[in-house]
Amino acid sequence: MALFKRLAETERPTLTFTLDGQPATGLLGDTLLTAVLTCAEHLRGSDFSAERRAGFCLMGACQDCWVRLEDGRRVRACSTLLEDGQAIRRDPGRQA
Amino acid sequence: MKTVVIVGAGPAGITAARTLLDHGVTPVLVDESLRGGGQIYRRQPANFQRSAKQLYGFEAGKATLLHRTLDELATLVDYRPETLVWNAENGRLDMLNNGHAESIEYAQIIVATGATDRILPVPGWTLPGVYSLGAAQIALKYQGCAIGERVAFCGSGPLLYLVAYQYAKAGAKVVAVLDSAPFSAQCRALPALLGQPATLAKGLYYRAWLTAHGIPVHQGATLSHIDGEQRVTGIHWDQQEIACDAVAFAHALRSETQLADLLGCEFAWNALNRAWLPQRDAAGRSSVAGVYLAGDGAGIMGADAAQMAGERAALALLEDTGIAIDPRRPAVLEQQLASIQRFRHGLETAFPFPENWAAEAPDELILCRCEEVSVGEVRAVVDEGHWEVNRVKAHCRVGMGRCQGRMCGLAAAEIIAERSGREIQNVGRLRGQAPIKPLPFGVEVQP
């Protein structure tokens, strides 16, 4: 199930990516956060209880939307635009 | 002349850059975002089609003008989007642009770092589907998305009604608006709010529109907790509940002051903002020579005031550099800013800070979402005799996580003050640290 719901700007070109290895699609101009949360329910696991998180502030302040790209880079999903063919991985988080 | 740097390309930073350029000074304009405009006038990606009217409503004209100014400036000043200033030391700024580290020496700097939502956590606030009010607005404005299918808006402040209205207007299902401020407070605030009748009218319009469209607005209603296991399923307040799959909440805004802190600015307690703010004179001069402050980053006054303060700070910088300016302009700007400040007092009466939040917060509530520190853990540290916020942070890691207390710092201070029996202004100020935001490993540093 998706968390976010698209209300406008749905006529944009489709981009494909993978989320934890599974094929998924987003739209040109989506942030990674939008692309993931319009087809899934979370972005990462928290650092001390592996609780699901899906971002919070969307303006680069809360640091709770980090995802991993294929090259190992960790990026803020809210402020990174989706590129075609990206492989996005969600960190499962850790239990204290 | 040495380099003049402006940090932040929102209403304050853009107007400051325009003013400097008009007087022959070409600044470096650094902004963390891709397209500038700040948060309230944030621009959608270039391939989106919605009109300014759809995005910014009554403010479409102002937003368009500001964006046009930035587009002009982009070719005339040294504009650096997608660039984070993460440290300031000895006249030098350390920056990060797309994984590349660079530094710049500055002679003068205008800090226009803006604001984020002020958050008072409630149980369940870390669940997927819970966002700040600002976040909910960004999802819609910047991405054309709602944060869920059935959205509840909670908290207080002007943004509460504005975002609920924008969602309903865009076709989202708004299940309820919970305003923690009682109606009586808004009546009391009327005399001060009438000083800015256009702004007041807009606020009343959003409220009336929601009611007219059958959206339940509950006043004096405080969100008590959010239900859900893997994601939001509902909210509770005053023995009432409603099912929903998304919640947006905040209590007004808080200033982003970390950079001013690293620049060595003196801070003072500001009762109106209920926060420590860098000190500034009416023109925007900080306590440090060559450092100027403008916009919401130096105290919450909104976008109109930010533009005026950006211009005023730039004029102060020019005056201090010995460059001639229109001698009548500063007084005009300062009068307008004083008028908005009176309105701001009215808003604080209309949407008062919920002073009982700290006493009512349950021990098991997660206060710090980065380090997952509970209210009870903070109280336990206070019970050991600690009452200074940085000291409490050292003991239990509240505010020590990746966001550096941006989300929980003010709430932590409220818990400490309530538990230790001190006034909120007497528990200290959470200090800023470099890097202001997390840096990736493997940053390429220029020699």
pLDDT tens, chain A, 96 aa long: 899 999 999 999 999 999 999 999 999 999 999 999 999 999 999 999 999 999 999 999 999 999 999 998 899 999 999 999 999 999 999 987
Of B47, B149, B440, Cβ closest to residue A5: B149
- Tell me which residue range forms the domain holding A22: 14-89
Handedness of CA B32, B33, B35, B36 (dihedral sign): negative
Give CA–CA dist B37/B11, Å, rounded. 7
Phi/psi at B382 (nearest 5 deg)? -65, -40
pLDDT value at residue B70: 98
Cβ separation B370–A64 shorter than 8 A: yes
Which pLDDT belongs to residue B93?
97
In a domain, residue A9? The reply is no
Is residue A1 in some structural domain?
no
| Domain count across chain A | 1
Distance of CA A78 to the CA centre of its chain: 8
Identify all chain B residues contacting A28, using CB atoms and an 8 Å cutoff. 47
Chain B residues with CB-CB distance to A47 below 8 A: 370-372, 401
**Other beta carbons within 10 Å of B444:** 10
Q: A28 in a domain, yes or no?
A: yes
Give residue B442's pLDDT.
Answer: 67
Residue A62 and residue B145: Cβ atoms within 8 Å?
Answer: no
Q: Is B269 helix (H, G, I), strand (E, B) or coil?
A: strand
A49 lies in some domain: yes
Phi, psi of A57 (to 5 degrees): -100, -25
Residue pairs between chains A and B whose CB atoms are closer than 8 Å? 146
For B381-438, the pLDDT digits (tens) are 999 999 999 999 999 999 999 999 999 999 999 999 999 999 999 999 999 999 999 9
Q: Which residues of chain B have pLDDT under 70?
A: 1, 442-447
Domain formed by B119-251, architecture: 3-Layer(bba) Sandwich (3.50)
Residue B115 distance to chain A (closest CA, Å): 10
Asked if A3 lies within 8 A of B148 by C-beta distance, the reply is yes
Disruptive mutation site among B42, B125, B145 for chain A (greatest number of A CBs within 10 Å) = B145
Distance set, CA B93 to CA B108, B158, B433 (Å): 11, 35, 14
**CATH number of the domain enclosing A29:** 3.10.20.440
Residue B194 is predicted with a pLDDT of 83
- Is A3 part of any domain? no
Q: Which of A28, A46, A62 sits opposite B407 (nearest CB)?
A: A62
Residue B392, CB half-sphere, CA atoms under 13 Å: how many? Answer: 35
Contact between B80 and B30 (Cβ < 8 Å): yes
* Helix residue ranges per DSSP H, B115-196: 133-143, 158-169, 183-193
CB-based contacts of B181, cutoff 8 Å, min separation 6: B156, B219, B220, B350, B351, B352
Classify domain B357-426 at the CATH class level. mainly alpha
Note the CATH number of domain B4-116+254-323. 3.50.50.60
Here the ipTM equals: 0.98
Bridge partners for B444 per DSSP? B100
**For B82-129, how does the pLDDT look when each residue is reduced to its tens digit (9 = 90+)?**
999 999 998 999 999 988 899 999 999 999 999 999 999 999 999 999
Residues of B in contact with A94 (CB under 8 A): none
Preceding amide of A23 cis, omega within 30: no
What length does chain A have?
96
Give the pLDDT of residue B445.
61
> How many angstroms away from the CA of B248 is the closest CA of chain A?
9
Pairing between β-strand B240-243 and β-strand B150-156 as defined by DSSP bridges: unpaired
Largest alpha-carbon pair distance within chain A?
44
Mutate to test the interface with B, among A14, A57, A67 (most CBs of B within 10 A): A57
Nearest to B172 among A7, A46, A54 (CB): A7
Whether A58 and B134 lie within 8 Å, measured CB to CB: yes
Residue B203 has what pLDDT? 85
Instruction: Record the tokens describing residue A57, joined without a space.
Output: 């502030």
pLDDT given at position B446: 55
Task: Check residue B444 and give its pLDDT.
Answer: 64
Residue spans per domain, chain B: 4-116+254-323, 119-251, 357-426
B119-251 and B357-426 in the same fold? no
- Tell me whether residues B147 and A3 touch, CB distance under 8 A: yes
Q: Which residues of A45-57 are buried (b: 16+ CB within 10 A; e: fewer)?
A: bbbbeebbbbbbb
Work out the angle between the directed axes of helices B303-321 and B329-350 (0-180°, nearest 10): 150
